[in-house]
Structure 1
């Protein structure tokens, strides 16, 4: 068992103490299908100036305004895609007017989304962009260009132009918007292993907790706060069962969530028999689904130490002798062992992020 008794105070986690709100929490929304429509350009105008002592003042029809764009911008202030509507439509440009008045451009629609979000055009099934940094943008639908008024066509050869352009039509694109990174860490385990209870203990998240299996049907994400204001996101993934790699029990949809996390945390029920077999079965399901998923950095938690004897606890620890994973014994109910686990989790995530940064630079 890994011992982490000496840590810097500033890097210690802050466990939630305030009372949490009642009612069902909203599940994490990590993908959406969105129809993006750019604004149409305004039409140009055909007009001739008529004024005092100047009855034939020439053309003065203004140009139409450009239509607005639909833009997605990467932001750290949003956590999922629940705020996205099924259709995003930008404003159209105003029409041109007489007396050389150009129409106003339509307002752009700018939507903040989490960093790491990718966008796939469903017509071509190709990725059109990915937001990897704060402030990056993806242009989802261009607005149409405003049409020229007849004043634009005035020339030495054409003194009385009677034509104007119609505004261009805005683009219409249907996109699959998906978060590539759901959370920094994911809690993996069989039903009723205590994943939801653990997420409640370390964050302000409120996943449902009950005595029957499959109480969690959609992923929930909680934020762990540290004393130096660092934050780590942790996802509660619905329980897996044997045969999940063959899509038994909605296995593929659950396993797909794990590909969007950097570190895996295996939560093992210490009160059941064959604790080593529990973890090995979970690792086998991951490896059969994806070799890259099985190679992610991971650690193991032996949960429910509050309901087992010291002998059973020791036997559970001995079952993992020689294992390469970091091992912690915890109780999500009374909080024992959680602080050491969270300190080590942050170290693993920071190491993973630095390695990924080096790979990107290379």
Structure 2
């Protein structure tokens, strides 16, 4: 399935039905008077979140949506039928923006949550409405009002509590695959992972927590370099970041600083998001752990200067060494944290 996380659509609410001009003419009713009914309300366009959808792919093929028009009024003061509302299903985690002004109209997080993005037009008034002592036989009615038209920009931000970040080939996808039932594509060249991968990791209590493997973060990602700009938004909803560093890289500390600089430049509060630093691939040197201990000690010096010191955990995702300690730390930190503030997800 192709992963699409942005889409532009157009929505048109239904026009209200016209009011009509008619007079009541019945036997034994010599002064029937005006009897034109009002038009019905036009249908509105409503977005509704669906937990079974994962991408915005459908909007690549259908991007214009229109609700039904209201029916015109009828004789004998009958009001026209209202137009049916048009419901558009979107994935949970979709943020809706006005395409003209950029204003955020809503954020659909919970399954079944709805957002009216275009109001249907009001029905016009029939001539019965204008009856008065000064005008006993009005011969005019009002047309229905046009429904609201809008251009919208939809952005999908994945709903995951834990985001796995790091440079390409740090072992993010491998880590997700051993922690969950996810089966991401894994290979030994950069940008193997081209889309975010989600996996559900079970807690000891049996509850599930969603982890997301965020691909393509490189230096300059916040400016559009590599794949990172497109996927940095998916980190915004996470409560905790697991920063994976390859200890076999040329300069693991520089790699760490590269990712931290990108989070800082992207803003949206990501630079302050709680993190766990994971030193991966400790199996590569076999029993000789001295170089890895030296790298860990270097990170210790760097992180002791920070107000919130990051936990440092050494693992091998391939051989699954150190994963129990990692997961214990993840659960402890999640249990002690507050939910991410709403303003940081928009």
Which residue of 307, 320, 333 maps to 2:318?
333
Q: State the TM-score, normalizing by the size of structure 2.
A: 0.79
**CA distance in structure 1 between the partners assigned to 2:261 and 2:102 by the alignment:** 31
Deviation of residue 353 (structure 1)?
2.4
Mark the runs of 5 or more structure 2 residues left unpaired by the alignment. 304-308
Which stretch of the first structure deviates more once superposed, 49-58 or 344-353? 49-58
Aligned partner of 2:217 in structure 1 is 240
1:236-285 per-residue CA deviation (whole Å, 9 max, x = no partner) reads 22233344455433443344444443322111224445434432333244
Which residue of 42, 45, 63 maps to 1:70?
45
**CA distance in structure 2 between the partners assigned to 1:64 and 1:300 by the alignment:** 64
Aligned partner of 1:97 in structure 2 is 74
Superposed, 1:251-262 pairs within 5 Å as: 251-262=228-239
1:319-345 per-residue CA deviation (whole Å, 9 max, x = no partner) reads 223243222333333444334323322
Aligned partner of 2:296 in structure 1 is 320
Change (3 A) 1:287 1:48: closer
SS state at 2:191 partner: coil
Deviation of residue 216 (structure 1)?
1.6
Aligned partner of 1:353 in structure 2 is 338
**CA distance in structure 2 between the partners assigned to 1:308 and 1:104 by the alignment:** 75
Deviation of residue 40 (structure 1)?
1.1
Deviation of residue 99 (structure 1)?
2.9
> What RMSD in Å do the two structures reach over aligned CA positions?
3.5
1:59-114 per-residue CA deviation (whole Å, 9 max, x = no partner) reads 33221111122234567776655566523322221221223221122222345656
**Correspondence 1:39 to 2:14:** yes
**CA contact 1:191–1:214 (8 Å) conserved in 2:** yes
Aligned partner of 1:86 in structure 2 is 63
**CA distance in structure 2 between the partners assigned to 1:165 and 1:356 by the alignment:** 47
**CA contact 1:180–1:260 (8 Å) conserved in 2:** yes
**CA distance in structure 1 between the partners assigned to 2:131 and 2:23 by the alignment:** 11
**CA contact 2:236–2:268 (8 Å) conserved in 1:** no
Aligned partner of 2:273 in structure 1 is 296
Superposed, 1:1-362 pairs within 5 Å as: 25-27=1-3, 29-54=4-29, 57-72=32-47, 81-82=56-57, 86-111=63-88, 117-130=94-107, 138-179=115-156, 182-228=159-205, 230-244=207-221, 247-290=224-267, 292-312=269-289, 315-321=291-297, 322=300, 323=303, 324-354=309-339, 356=341
Mark the runs of 5 or more structure 1 residues left unpaired by the alignment. 1-24
**CA distance in structure 2 between the partners assigned to 1:68 and 1:229 by the alignment:** 44
**CA contact 1:147–1:167 (8 Å) conserved in 2:** yes
SS state at 1:99 partner: coil
Number of aligned residue pairs: give it.
Answer: 333
SS state at 1:320 partner: helix
